[in-house]
Chains A and B, each alone.
Chain A
Amino acid sequence: MSEHTLARKDILGLRGMSREEITLILDTAASMLEIVDRDIKKVPTLRGKSVLTLFYEPSTRTRSSFELAAKYLSADTLSISTQTSSVQKGETLLDTARNIEVMGVDTVVIRHSASGASHFLARHLKAHVINAGDGMNEHPTQGLLDMFTIRTHLGRLEGLRVLIVGDILHSRVARSNIWGLLTMGARVAVAGPATLLPPRVAELGVDVYTDLDLALRHADVVNVLRLQLERQKKGLFASAREYNEFWGLTPERLRASQPDLLVLHPGPMNRGVEITSEVADGPQAVILEQVKNGVAVRMAILYLLMGGGE
C-alpha cells in the first residue's frame, strides 16, 4: 500500500478515518473538480466498473451526485430506489444486496434509514460499500464535501472554529462533520434547542450551546442543518416560528457575527425556518458550491476505492 491508497474496502464514516486519509480524499477531489469544469466531463479511469446506488430513502441530490461522479469517471451506474423498508418489502437488505453483487457490481452506494445499515452491508459483501447516509449515524461524503468547501475558502481546516446549528440529535451530517473536523484539527461547536442535542454530546469533544447568538460569536464557519418539521409533533421544538426566532440564521445574526463568516447548508433548505433567504442567497453562503464540490469529492472516493487493481 502506498501513501496514495485508502487502506480500506469501504467508506462507512469519518469516525476512525485518519487525517492522512481525509487529506488524500480532499486533495484528490481538488484534482477532480477540474474535470467537472471541463466541456467534456469524462475521463476513462473507471471504464468497465459498475456502481449501484441503493437508496431506501428518497434523496435526489445525493443519488444524482454519486451517479454523475461515477459517469464522469466512465463507470456504469445502476440505480435502485425504494421508499419501503426491506422489512415491509419482504426481501431483506442482505438478500437484495447479495443478488445485486452476483451481477458484478463493484461498488454499492447505500442510503438507509437505519443507523449501521452500511456497516451491516459491508460486512457481508465483497463489493466496496459507500455510506450515503445511514439513519442518524453518518453521511461521510457530505462531511467531506463540507470540509472541502471550507478548505477551499479559508485555506485550511486546522484551528478553524466551525459551528453546527440545528437538530444535532437526528443528524448524520452533524456527526460526520464533527468526526472529520475534529480529526483535521478544527474546533467544533454545536448549537440548537436542548431537545435536539444528543445526550452527552459534549463528550464527543465539541462545545455545546443552546444560545445561537453566543455560539456565533466564536465561529469562523457556520453549518446550518435542515430542520425536519415533523419533529415538532414529537414535542422536540415548539413551532417553526419560534425555531426561526431563536435558532434561525437571519441577516441580523449574520451582521452581529464575524464579517467573513462562511455559511454552509447541506440542503434541502427550509427557507424562513433554519435559514432566511437573504442569508442563503447572500455573498457569505457557499451552498451551491457545496453541491458542485460534492461531485468532485464523490469522484475522488470512487477513484480511490476502485482505481487500483486487486
Chain B
Amino acid sequence: MALQEKARIMDEDAIRRALSRIAHEIAERNLDVDNLVFIGIRRRGVPLAERLAAEIQRIEQKKPPVGVLDITLYRDDLTTKHDTPMVHKTDVPFTVAGKDVILVDDVLYTGRTARAALDAVIDLGRPRTIQLAVLVDRGHRELPIRADYVGKNVPTSQREVIEVRLAEVDGVNEVWIVEKTD
C-alpha cells in the first residue's frame, strides 16, 4: 500500500491562525487561567500543546505548564496488532488533580486515541475538567467523543489519511490529505 498526496488543506499561516483562535477560545472558556494545564498526546500533540500554551502566554501573560502523554499502554487494539508499539515515557511533571486539563492532539478520527488519553489522564489524578483540542477533525467517530476546540473540520473518506506536518517534528508546517493507493 502506498500513499499519494492529494491536497494541501492548511499551510503555515492557516495553522497559526487556527491555533491562535483555539487559544482565544480556551482563554474565554477558562477564566481561571492559573488552573489551566496542557497535555499533548505523543507525538504531534506535544508541539501543538506547546504552541497553544505559548499563545495563552501572549494573551494572559502567563504560561500554563505543558505535559507529555504516551497512551501506548492504554490502547485497546494491542492484542489485534502483531507488533508491540514502543512505549515512550509519559512526562507530566505537575499534578492534574483539580486542574482544567487541555488535552491536545493533531487529528481527531475514530476517537479511540482520545478515549485512551482520557483513561491515562485520569490515572494520573482527578482533574476538574478535561477538554479536547485538535487541529483537524476528520469525522468517522467510533466512540461518543467530540472535541471542544477544532482548528479545521475536514470531511474525508475512509481511504484518505490526514497528515499533519509540524516544524518541530517534520521541518514544515502544513496539513495534507493523502490517499491510500493499493
A-side residues, CB < 8 A to B, are 1-2, 4-6, 24, 27-28, 30-32, 34-35, 38-40, 42-45, 48, 73, 300, 303-304, 307-310
A45–B81 Cα gap in the complex (Å)?
13
Question: Which residues of chain A have C-beta atoms less than 8 A from B78's C-beta?
Answer: 45, 307-309
A48–B123 Cα gap in the complex (Å)?
19
Question: Which residues of chain B have C-beta atoms less than 8 A from A304's C-beta?
Answer: 84
Question: Which residues of chain A have C-beta atoms less than 8 A from B17's C-beta?
Answer: none
Question: Which residues of chain A have C-beta atoms less than 8 A from B120's C-beta?
Answer: 43
Q: Which of these binds chain A: B85-93, B132-140, B143-151, B160-168?
A: B85-93
Question: Which residues of chain B have C-beta atoms less than 8 A from A48's C-beta?
Answer: 79
Per CB-CB distance, the 7 closest pairs between chain A and chain B, nearest first, are A43-B73, A307-B84, A308-B84, A4-B86, A309-B79, A45-B73, A2-B83
Contact assessment for A34 and B89 in the assembled complex, using a CB-CB cutoff below 8 Å: yes
Known: A34-B89, A38-B124. A43 touches B83 (CB 8 A): no
Question: Which residues of chain B have C-beta atoms less than 8 A from A39's C-beta?
Answer: 124-125
A212–B80 Cα gap in the complex (Å)?
53
A73–B87 Cα gap in the complex (Å)?
13
- Chain B interface size band reads 20 to 34
Contact assessment for B90 and A1 in the assembled complex, using a CB-CB cutoff below 8 Å: no
Q: Does B174 count as interface, using CB distance less than 8 angstroms?
A: no
Question: Which residues of chain B have C-beta atoms less than 8 A from A32's C-beta?
Answer: 87
Q: Which of A4, A30, A38 contacts B123 (CB 8 A)?
A: A38
User: Of residues 74 to 122 in B, which have CB atoms within 8 Å of A's CB atoms?
Assistant: 74-75, 78-91, 119-120
A298–B43 Cα gap in the complex (Å)?
26
Contact assessment for A44 and B74 in the assembled complex, using a CB-CB cutoff below 8 Å: yes
**Whole-angstrom distance from the CB of B51 to the nearest CB of chain A?**
24
Contact assessment for B119 and A309 in the assembled complex, using a CB-CB cutoff below 8 Å: no
